[in-house]
Amino acid sequence: MAEADDAHQDHREDFIPPTALESAVRGLGADTVRYRVDYVMLPMRDGVRLATVVIRPRAAGRYPTLLVRTPYQVTGLPDQLGPIFNNDYVLIAQNERGSEWSEGEFGFLTNTTADAQDTLDWVSEQEWSNGRAGLHGCSSTAENQLKLAAIGHPALRACVAMSSGAGIGDIPGAEGCKGLFYRGGVPMIGAATRWFAPFGIRLRPKLPATADGDELSRILRRYLVSAPNARDPEYGRALGKSARQPPSGEVLRRMGAPMTGYETYLAEGPAGPAWGEVDLIDAGHTGATPSLNINGWMDIGAYETVKLFEFQQHHPEQYLIMAPTEHCRMLGTGPDASLGDRPMGDTRFPYDEMVISWFDRFLREEPADWQPMPKVQVFLMGAATWLTGESWPLPGTEERTLFLASATSANTLWGDGGLVPVADAPGAAGAGKDEFIADPRNPVPSIGGGLGMDPICADQRDAECRADVLVYSTPVLDQPVSIVGDVRAELYVSADVDDADVFVKLVDVYPDGTAYNLASSCLRLRYRDGFDRPANLVPGEIYRVQITGITTANYFPPGHQVRIEIAGSNFPVADRNWHTGGRNDLASDGPVAHITLHHGAGHPSALHFRAFTGEVTTGRPMASLRDAAVQRAGTHSAGSCSAVPPAAGPESATG
């Protein structure tokens, strides 16, 4: 009997139910016969251990590694990564310091670069590693790639950063955004509260210090750290109510949230010392790792993504793809897609095959499936086609200017505010001005835009009906206009308060009057001379200010109008200004601001934008462009497999 019991023990079977992550990777092809899953608390250089899940082939060999670092619960993977398990990759999912079961105090993008370097060192030393690794992810899992990719690591060969922007610091053209927390010095509290409330908690539950070895691995595997469900309707309603109550510095505390970085960043401002602890890529990080930069035109980080590519495009193997989508939605393409309420047409793009062949090329040194493509591929909204080129700004674009004008008043969409090509055009002759108020107790409501606004793109006429919104439009177009690139407003403004905000929104007006938002930006006027040099306004003094932070690619066909709205608030996407010149995060009362926009002679307020001057064929999806490129390549070189599409397709309309 004893011998039978011993035999039974030697052949004991385990019946372990899969975790959510294990079920997800099995569904993607990492079956239990070929793959194993290990749960490791990986020590960093300072002894802090990070919760790390290693999914790797069981067979002996040396394999490439794909690393995903995240502050979120790891319960699944995007379907896009499924093919890697057919190609014998190691996948590592690691929680950032202080998140989930990773030890240490959590801070927004704090110590992420050093921790990633330590993790890559460890990967390189493993007997199953071929010494080559890549980074992949959307949103936060993209942000922690950016500085590391610029600094570099011997094992890091390729990156795919999707919907990034919050990891971008003071690079040329994007100064002061500080992790997308600010736009022109105005806190973007809609996105900030939505993220920091569930994900920015500094101190969280941790694994018992006495657990180690197999027991530690079992605990790590079995439990998740609970956090508020940001998608729960009741949670969303509570956050919305709290965000609308002043003071803005107490939004999260009113919801019962423990301390986060939100309160500190809001109190210190865009030049505060706390930002020195955040791992943002800045102008001093001049290197680059081969990268696919993928984002959407209505993502909160669209402008920063474009500026990062512009900053790094002189390095080899840098690519930019801008889709007609919002945050992390670029993979949801279709033949008849919409962006919010606005129809987009055929948005399909071969993301999956591109990403997998990209990693195969650099991590497996198998370039056969990689199809050469233009460095820049951007969807031209309104035309349902793609424009391509080898640099940004795109070749074939030029800067144009439209001047703001009104004969009587630009208030509301029924006013006579105009965008005219020359400053002395009829209606713009002589000095003119338009006045509006900014009442912090009755701010202009946000319609679309921001993070998580549904719909992201919507008709703006409800806002344009308000008397505290200035509306400037071109005449109905008789020729198409294609705005492709940066848009900035040069404005001459004065106010009767110590501080005020000015918001600019770019809009496409359809023949039936529907006014779709394209992008917006703003400036807190105390920062007119720089984010490190705030200064109160002198009431009545006229200031020339530049409002940047907008980039887009939009086709305005005949019958449409180009429009901008100017207002003193955009709430709750952006924090309201109480106009006292003090700390808005503590304020709950303040005066109504009377703001004057000056235009015409002596004060040529204007809208500057890049216009695409080439030919645009509407309704040509990426598939037809790629097919045409292959056919042309075959004509010129038998057996060639180039997939570089044309700059804009056959002639049909001049932008």
Residue 189, φ and ψ in degrees, nearest 5: -70, -20
Mode of pairing for the β-strands spanning 481-495 and 606-612: antiparallel
The answer to whether 457 and 516 are in contact (CB under 8 A) is yes
SS (H, E, C) 432-485: EEEEEEECCCCCCECCCCCCCCCCCCCECHHHHCCCCEEEEECCCCCCCEEEEE
Amino acid letter for position 370 = W
CB burial of residue 509 (10 Å; 0-12, 13-18, 19+): buried
Sequence-distant (6+) residues with CB within 8 A of 224 are: 73, 75, 100
Q: How far apart are CA 19 and CA 41, in angstroms?
A: 18
282-301 confidence digits (pLDDT tens):
999 999 999 999 999 999 99
What is the per-residue pLDDT for 569? 98
534-571 confidence digits (pLDDT tens):
999 999 999 999 999 999 999 999 999 999 999 999 99
The answer to whether 335 and 346 are in contact (CB under 8 A) is yes
**314-327 exposure pattern, b = at least 16 Cβ within 10 A, e = fewer:** eeebbbbbbbbbbb
What is the per-residue pLDDT for 631? 57
Q: How many residues does the chain have?
A: 655
438-485 confidence digits (pLDDT tens):
999 999 999 999 988 889 999 999 999 999 999 999 999 999 999 999
Q: Which residue has the tokens 């040329």?
A: 172
Q: How many CA atoms lie within 13 A of 172 on its CB side?
A: 6
Residue 251, φ and ψ in degrees, nearest 5: -55, -50
What is the per-residue pLDDT for 26? 93
DSSP helix/strand/coil, 600: strand
Residues of the chain with pLDDT under 70: 1-14, 423-429, 627-655
Our separate counts of H helices and E strands in the chain read 13, 27
The answer to whether 470 and 436 are in contact (CB under 8 A) is yes
Q: How far apart are CA 143 and CA 162, in angstroms?
A: 9
Domains of the chain (ranges; CATH) run 35-331 (3.40.50.1820), 398-612 (2.60.120.260), 615-654 (no CATH)
Q: How far apart are CA 346 and CA 649, in angstroms?
A: 16
What is the per-residue pLDDT for 281? 97
Supply 102's token pair.
């990773």
DSSP helix/strand/coil, 431: strand
Q: How far apart are CA 22 and CA 526, in angstroms?
A: 52
Q: How far apart are CA 394 and CA 374, in angstroms?
A: 11
Which 8-state DSSP code applies to residue 345? E
